Amino acid sequence: MTRLLLVCAANLCRSPMAEAVLRLRAGELGLTEVHSAGVFASSRAHVVDKRALAVLEQRGYGMDRRWRSRKVKTEDFDRYDLILAMDRNVLRGLKAAKPAVSPAKLGLFLAGMTGLGLDEVPDPYYGAGSAFVHVLDLIEARVHTWPKDEAVFQRDVG
């Protein structure tokens, strides 16, 4: 069983959306814990982006109204077994923040996906509402093809 942390830049769109979807399927995917954070998030907590919440609700995913964004903390690298970044920039930030001795495995959320033509979840924050739909499509595709072997996520990417 795996404790999973999903990470995007600010923890306002992509990672909370992935958290909501993965929490519903956690047991069947072998996940004991699913949370999200932002590698570049503000120290001040914010609510999830309204556009992300609307897309989640349209597809039947709930989000605790008390949910607030948070920044990745040093102790996350000891608490979580697997920490997945939404894009390479976020992954670089995670690698820079990871303590020298840490059991956490880092990787890209879409690593190992074929047929998509991309391996990063694009940031929808400055885009149109359809960008949030696309992000949710990618998250659902990843969940439907969740690998049984975590090594898929751990490709050495810069």
Mind telling me the catalytic residues? 8, 14, 123
Distances (CA, A) of 58 to 51, 54, 139: 11, 6, 15
Structure tokens at 20: 């909501």
Q: CB-hemisphere CA count at 13 Å for 55?
A: 25
